[in-house]
A and B are shown apart, each in its own frame.
Chain A
């Protein structure tokens, strides 16, 4: 009756499936690690740039102060511009322990004054008098940082400009930058590890309510379908409610199944008892005529029993199909017409005419063909049966079947002019095994199944009165859409 669970062959297979299943915890941790890694990479990048800038900033200060000390000691010696570099310049620069020093002093009037002739070149930015500029270049096989200054001479009797270049290699800078970077890297790595640890712990904590629900369900007795009552966080509330709903449905289905089984057994027992009685009766008859009459009755009773069993079987098949089959496109006109044709002969034997009429050309719905067949057969068969019990032999008896369509629905109307159904019964007829008038043959399974089938197709079924007497059953299906 229910869609079956995939049937695990053994425990190892289940473990295998568990192993292959994605893990929430792993996903949570992995995405956490991903994000923290991206942040860490950005941070490391920033730290690299920052440490380089910091190192250049502090050592540029050193270089600038040394350069300005040189600049202060530009002197005129016998009318020629010269420079008397103070010792302090080099002791300042010697703070960068292992860095080589290069310098060059020129004047626009006299050209090269002192220093390294090979050290030359203009700064990359346009030079501005009196402004110290810093830039990197390669000199004597090493990266150097150059401080560059050109200024107008202010000494009396002197013209033109003096240009001072002072450079040092970058060892101390690199060392400082790398020590800052190392320190920052240590911090970043520490943060990353702490964060990962927190994420791991947090994932455990976050997923704990799920485990609790799991534990509660595991601990239950097999037949216990009462709602879960433990307190869980908001995020798992819906899960809990869904589980509870699901269990309630399960409970209902189980109850139905129990009823159905009991009723089915009951239904089969009554005809069997009657069969037995008939058989005994037949055995005790003495004349062959009587015996034959009794045997006829047994055959009749067997047919009824067979009908009942067929109906029960059909009901089981339909139930299963309703649970498992996908709905496909079905044209209602041809389906209804075919069923009418199948039943027409049998009806005529009972002096009842079936009439089929359609007010639409194509009536497409999505449905399961077998279930719909069963449903229509039942409804029409019922209508025929009820018509037969009208004790008015004068009027011609008929059952009208009408397929129609409006904007949203495809409808099938089955109209009989039989005894009709009282308003009280109209509500009850859809219950399983309810039969309004006991003397009318039939298993009574029919209408309950009809209701199930209509529900499955997303439609409605209603029982109306036919004027002047009789019953009209109207089934409406949504027009060509999936239920």
Chain B
């Protein structure tokens, strides 16, 4: 009896010691017995990237790809944990700050090719992390259920709408949970940096109207579609646009006071055995073909300036606030700052019972 308890404790200890990351969902592409293999760790929705991967495999028939989709934070922690025996040849994430921190802390390797050299300077840092898309951060509303016939086009109008239709809107706004998603935290911290007062008032309004928090853009839009909520704030433009195209009840709103512009960035981890294949896929993402495909198939907003007219092109009169891919992102992940920010956020949204 005693020994079994001991064994149980031991087992528990082993379980605790072992890092237990969400392994995420795994998707396979290409012939399994192909000559070359590439593992992708990615936080990007498989639906967005799978057409690109398939096209890449058509171009490189001797390549098979394993795609592991996981959360941005999970991905970040996994790269650090696997630093000595890394599986992935390329790590793709929309959490720019976590990716940049990986580079700053020495977990990425340098990569340079003709394609990366053509990138604008803002789209890379140290030739170790590369942006392949630049998309607006948007709001999505449900046309049928939104209380006001006029949709808010900026944050001031959003605040007014919330106040005006306080009862209808209570509990029916959704946004990222800054504690869960890497992107959510990044967007919120950038909002607070861009317009601290507006952000404070917005947060206060969210708090008093019982905002719902989510891990991912898609889950928020799911709930907007189903009518649980009527409006989502700070959503990824590419995901939103795809959903809006398929559902006429949804409307995408691009804030006109300022539009945050987020990059999706990829890096090749240090010590990766598949670095060469990772570079090949990165080159494809940045290539003319890849970029064009993102545009024509409405998958992503390409990083390179779109040529010709396009449904996705943004209203240029809106001030764009591109989240810069440089050292400034590190500060958002400062331990003390992050802790304080999350505490304030929890306090404002009345989510932390200890502080009530």
Which of A's residues lie within 8 Å of B, judged by CB? 77, 82-85, 87, 89-91, 93-94, 97-102, 105, 113-116, 140-142
Contact = CB atoms under 8 A, between A and B. Distances in A.
Contact of B336 (A94, A102, A113, A140): A113
A300 to B, nearest CB: 117
A115 B193 contact: no
List 7 tightest A-B contacts by C-beta distance, closest first: A114-B336, A114-B335, A90-B328, A90-B331, A140-B106, A94-B327, A94-B326
B104 A100 contact: yes
B105 A140 contact: yes
Given A77-B340, A84-B340, A98-B126, A91 B328 contact: yes
Contact of B337 (A84, A91, A94): A84
Q: Pick the most buried of A89, A98, A115: most chain B CB atoms within 10 A of its CB.
A: A98
B334 A114 contact: yes
A73 to B, nearest CB: 10
Contacts of A116: 105
Contacts of A142: 106
15 contacts: A82-B336, A84-B336, A85-B334, A85-B336, A87-B328, A90-B327, A93-B327, A94-B324, A99-B327, A100-B106, A100-B327, A105-B336, A113-B336, A140-B105, A141-B106
Contacts of A97: 326
Q: Pick the most buried of B327, B330, B336, B340: most chain A CB atoms within 10 A of its CB.
A: B327
A16 to B, nearest CB: 60
A89 B330 CA distance: 11
Given A84-B340, A100-B104, A140-B105, A94 B335 contact: no
B214 interface: no
Interface string B169-200: 00000000000000000000000010000000
A100 B326 CA distance: 9
Interface in B94-109: 103-106
B258 interface: no
A94 B340 contact: no
B116 to A, nearest CB: 14
B111 interface: no
Nearest to A112: B335
Nearest to A102: B104
Interface size class of B (residues with CB under 8 A): 10 to 19
A232 B105 CA distance: 76
Nearest to A82: B336
Interface in B121-152: 125-126
A115 B105 CA distance: 12
Contacts of B327: 90, 93-94, 99-101
A113 B337 CA distance: 11
Contacts of B103: 100
A83 B339 CA distance: 11
A89 B327 CA distance: 10
A325 B337 CA distance: 104
B334 A101 contact: no
Contact of B331 (A85, A99, A100, A141): A85
A30 to B, nearest CB: 46
Contacts of A113: 335-336
Given A100-B126, A100-B327, A101-B327, 8 more contacts: A82-B336, A85-B331, A87-B193, A87-B331, A91-B328, A98-B126, A115-B335, A140-B106
Contacts of A101: 104, 327, 330
B330 A98 contact: no
B259 to A, nearest CB: 19
Interface in B32-86: none
B106 A83 contact: no
A113 B334 CA distance: 10
A71 B328 CA distance: 18
A101 B100 CA distance: 11
B336 A98 contact: no
A114 B337 CA distance: 9
A90 B189 CA distance: 15
A116 B334 CA distance: 9
A336 B221 CA distance: 139
A87 B334 CA distance: 11
A140 B102 CA distance: 12
Contacts of A105: 336
Contact of A94 (B106, B126, B328): B328
A98 B125 contact: yes
Nearest to B341: A84
A63 B59 CA distance: 48
A430 to B, nearest CB: 99
A115 B333 CA distance: 9
Given A90-B331, A100-B104, A85 B337 contact: yes
A85 B337 CA distance: 7
A98 B327 CA distance: 8
A262 to B, nearest CB: 98
Given A98-B126, A101-B104, A140-B105, A83 B330 contact: no
A105 B331 CA distance: 13
Contacts of B328: 87, 90-91, 94
B341 to A, nearest CB: 10
A445 to B, nearest CB: 100
A60 B330 CA distance: 20
Nearest to B335: A114
Contacts of B335: 113-115
Contacts of A100: 103-104, 106, 126, 327
Interface string B214-246: 000000000000000000000000000000000
Nearest to B338: A114
Nearest to B125: A98
A365 B165 CA distance: 138
A87 B103 CA distance: 19
A102 B330 CA distance: 9
A89 B331 contact: yes
Contacts of B326: 94, 97
A84 B327 CA distance: 17
Interface string B321-351: 0001011101100111100100000000000
Contact of A90 (B105, B126, B330): B330
Contacts of B336: 82-85, 105, 113-114
Nearest to B103: A100
Contacts of B337: 84-85, 114
A469 B326 CA distance: 125
A177 B126 CA distance: 19
Contacts of B330: 90, 101
A425 to B, nearest CB: 109
Interface in B291-331: 324, 326-328, 330-331
Nearest to A116: B105
A114 B327 CA distance: 17
